[in-house]
Chains A and B, each alone.
Chain A
Amino acid sequence: MTPPLRDARSKQVRRLTELSRALSYAVSADEVYELALHATAALLHADQVVLLVKDEDERLVLHSRPRWLGQKLEQELTSLDESTVALLQEQLAQSAKHGFLAVPLVIDDRVSGVLAVTRPDGSSERLDDEWVLSSVADQTAVALEKIRLNRAALLADKARREREEQFQSLYDSPLIGLVFKTTDGKVVDANDAFFALTGYSRDAAHELSWDTIVPHDTVRHPERPQPGRGSKMLPFEAELRRRDGHTVEVLIGSAMLEEQDRELVFVVDISAQKRAEASMRLLSEASNALIGASLDHAALMKSLAFLVVPRFADWCAIELVETGAQIGEHVAIEHVSSSRIAHAHQWRRRFPPQRNATAGVARVIRTGQSQLHDEIANAFLTEYVCEDDAASELKQEGLRSAILVPLVMEGRVGGVITFVRGKRRRRFGREDLMLAEEIGRRAAAALVSARLYRQANDAIGLRDEFLAVAAHELKTPLATLQLQLDALHTGLAASDVALDRARHRVDSARRQAERLTKLVEDLLDVSLITTHQLALERQDCDVIELVREVASHFEAHAGRAGSPIELQLPEQPVVGCLDRSRIEQVLVNLVANAIKYGAGKPICIAVIQRDHKAEIVVKDAGIGIASKDLARIFQRFERAVSTRHYGGLGLGLFIAQRIVHAHGGEIDVRSLPGAGAEFVVSLPLPRDAECRDEEAIA
């Protein structure tokens, strides 16, 4: 070796040593590429250095110095092997002016890249050059492999750390209970969430048996797979038994751990979800029950109470309240133990609800607000019943929690539902209150529908009865009219009818026509009153004179009925600006009733003037009116007696009252069964100027 050559070789060795050291410090693949390209160019005085390698994502990438302007090799090549090297060599041969050289980068007998050069002079040092290039390629391959391994190790470490963090956050989660247990059911470790769920302390963990916490018979999964190494079980629902004996609905999943002979079990409390499902189911069934139930209020509420006990409460009491009442009447009581229902009814009879109670049903009725007593306090019971004896009896019932909700019907509290749970049940909470209120709303809607249906039916029944009565009333005078006309017809045909007989029959026929007219007028008046079209035509009139006329009109009829009319009238006229014909109508209706129901006893009509008022009293000594009927006799189509015994449309008092009210007056009745009735019409007596022209009667 000549001295210049030896120097050159020595320089190459030094450069290679420097490269080796630099590569050992390289921390990235790009740094390795840069070092390799730079060193190759310097060592071999190359025109072009090309490094073809796989990047981190296993794609072929071409690095070059100066920049490679030839064919895009990396797109043509799909893998790195001997053929790749051959192809690269072929490409380099085409572009090289003098010569080219290419060597593979090999790791573990696997080609991981190609390093190649083109040179201006490729003759004298070819073998050395190949040795140098191979040396650079080997060092580069080792450096790249080292970086790849480092990176893989870093990534693996990062992934492990992430997995550990994820598991830790799962382990720390208050929502998911995690348990490590042996395959024979011994609890080895568990997280705080699990201990919170079960009520056991961490100290007692080693004594815990899985079968005690999740009894096998509570598992609701028909095909629970047998656990095996590495197997994952499908999640299943079960009941977890807490240390205090209560049960919690849970979802359980597990996986066998490979490394240890252990099972990792996760436990999720799904009781809230289960309760929500049960609530939805209960509401849906309640709606069905209320829609499909009878239209009778009591039957409707009984079916509701039956539905909610024991699913929602141990006790359910429903009471309905009449308008204006402060306490209601129990229409349904239900209890988990049916033997307690009779006891509850008995208790209620002994201690009827107090209007002045500051808690409980009376308060809900007053305020229309629901009440949630999650823990029933003794003070509440005392306030509820207002009596110490009753409160102490209630305390022995073991009541834990109560909800009271109003039944709001058409804007007023029409009833109250009370739900109570005993000591063995979970306390009522906010979500239970919401469910109870929804049940209350649906029950109230059903009650309103039932009431409207019943009212509509009653109205139809009343109308039908009225039509039957009206037909009867119209037919009776028609019967007389028909007979008289038949007789007249027969008599006239025979030409033997005496004049006085004919006159008598015509008179009778006219009376029947008048009766028919009166009936039709009453019907018309009702129609006008109902549609607010009946108007007053006021004029000065003397009430005394009017009473005399009406009494005179009824004299014969009253005499035949054995009820002579006695008049008690002041000497002086009693004058006011009244609708004369309408007041006459009032008197006619009252006197006709007095004769009809007078039981053949005398009738008295009295007029008393008090200041600017006239009081007209029509009094009979007949069958009288029961107190329960007094309020309704002024209503349309109503009467206090059976239509079986007494005819009439049931309109007279209704029309009379409306006429008196239109005059600004009042009509009142005092009566006892069997002791007659006294109707008092109190009429203001306005002067002419004070009269309004027309007032509608409504």
Chain B
Amino acid sequence: MKHLREPRPALRLRRRVLQTALGCLALPFVPALAWADEFEGDPLKSFAWPGMRREFLGRDARVTWDDRRVVVEGPRFAEDPMNVPISVRVDAALGPVQEILVLVDRNPIRKVLSYEPQQALPRIAFRFRLEQGSPVRAAVRTADGRWHVGSAFVASTGGGCTVSGVTRADGSWSRTLGEVSGRMFTPTQDATRLRVRVMHPMDTGLVAGIPAFYLSRLSLRDGQDRELARLASFEPVSENPVFSFDFAQPPEGGVFIVGNDNNGNRIRSRLQ
């Protein structure tokens, strides 16, 4: 794990003194004060974080750094910056999860997706475009409104967001737009997994002359049309995205996926 910047010794000392002092008091408002350093406690010490926290989590957001219970996994380096696999797993000990928000510090577009697991397990896997080496964050909002943030660092030689995808480059995207393939799997004893691919060029808007064009909303529904989980996805998600959604039990009466892109094209498919 690469540290973006080593804290100065004086700062480190000051923080230790503060932490000790606050630890003794154990007050409920500790988090707001604990970030006496300029990185607000970010273990990866990214200068981008405080601004991201304000923009995406809220000015008064309460943040707990928790790599143990919010596990973000990625490769050490991005061999294919157009398709960087990320998986997020939230420990059941955190209780019910309202939202999993995935953010990337050094991407020109930082918000990758927002997942509301509802009836599903708080886990998601997908691939995204990475512009340069960067921390990848999963911010998990629990019922009490608190954010629990886990991170991973993915190194890269760069260039994922500003290059056209394969189907955009060869023009074949229009023939397959919105087509869906997917299947239920049993990767482990305790989970049923839906893996689904939706054909979409997922244009970031950062390639000259090609406006942003991306899947913006996907809803997973059971056989009775009850919503199981909801996903808002944004420009950085990879072309023809493959998502993995986990459930404790196989959904009743099969699964439907419905949704649309930012141009209003609809997706509706029965998966199982």
Indicate whether A and B interact. no
Q: A-side interface residues toward B, CB under 8 Å?
A: none
